[in-house]
Amino acid sequence: MEQDIKAKIDHACRTAEEFTKLYYESLDKRRYLISRLYLDSAVLIWNGNGIEGKDHIQKFWIDLPSTNHTITTLDAQPITGPAVADQLTFLVKVSGQVKYQEKSSKPFNQNFLITAVGDKWKIVSDCFRAQEALDNS
């Protein structure tokens, strides 16, 4: 059991490294393909704006100005227990800087719930938050 957990932690870390590399490359350079990474019923929350479903997510990303992400931290955990049953699922957290078009870069955090569907990893939920001051109005 303990060995099993350790293996899952290793797996989560390696998958997270590979996943984030692919994800941000797609987002910055091949955005038209980004929806392939999402589950059909995935949810994207972008700065508090919720977008549900793979197709809507694809459209949302296409409409966003071009981006350039630089990642500075990465963390990953396996999710176990009755919450996911036997479904292999990882929680991934990223922080870094994002640049929109030529504008100055903003720090951001993003976390993903990714799960194995057959032989592919798919995003179940994707939550992006820029670090910024928000009006209280």
Partner 1 sequence: MPKKAAKGRSRWTGQTSSRHGSPERKQYFDHDDRAVRGPARPKVSFRTGRNAKGGRSKNLQTALKIHLEDDVDMSDPNAKRIRFKGNVGVGGSAREGCRSPAPSRRIDGGGRGLYHKKGLRDDGGWFKVVIPYGNKYGKDFILKNLLSYIAPDPIIPIMYKIEGNTASFFVDDYKTALKLQSCDKKITTEEGFKISVNVLPGYPVSNMNDNFKERLKAAMAKRFVQATNALDLSQFHREPDLCEDYFCSLARTAMLIFVIDIIVEHTPQLEALNLDGNKIQAIDRLGSLLSRKLPSIKILYIGDNRIRDLRDTDSLKPLKLEELRLAGNPLCNKYKQRNEDYISDVRKRFPKLLKLDGILLPAPIVFDVGDDAEGHKLPPSQRAFAVNEDARQVATTFLHQYFTIFDNDDRQPLLDAYDEHASFSLTIHFPPNNSHRFTFYLPENRNLFRVNDREKRQRLLKQGRLPVVSFISKMPKTHHYLNSFTMDLGVLTKTMMVVTVTGLFRELDGDKAQLRYFNRTMIIVPQGSGYCIRNEQVHITDPLDSQKKELAASLPALLSIPEETKNLEQQQEQLIMALRQQSGMNTEWSRKCLEEVQWNFDAALAAFRQVHEVGQVPAEAFQS
Which of the residues 86 through 115 are near partner 1 (CB under 8 A)? 91, 93, 95, 100-101, 107, 109, 111, 113
> How many residues bind to partner 1 according to rule CB under 8 A?
55
* H/E element, 89: strand 89-100
| Minimum distance from residue 43 beta carbon to partner 1 (Å) | 5
Which among 10, 13, 9, 15 has a CA at the least distance from the CA of 115? Answer: 15
Asked whether 17 and 100 are in contact (CB, 8 A), the reply is no
Residue among 57, 3, 1 nearest 31 (CA): 57
> Is position 130 an interface residue for partner 1 (rule: CB under 8 A)?
yes
CB of 39 to partner 1, least distance (A): 10
Under the criterion CB under 8 A, does residue 3 sit at the interface with partner 1?
no
One of 80, 88, 99, 105 touching partner 1 (CB under 8 A):
80
- Smallest CA-to-CA distance from 79 within 67, 94, 66, 89 is with 89
Distance CA 122, CA 133 (A): 32
Site of interaction with partner 1 (CB under 8 A):
5-6, 9-10, 13, 16-17, 43, 45-50, 52, 63-66, 71-85, 91, 93, 95, 100-101, 107, 109, 111, 113, 124-127, 129-136
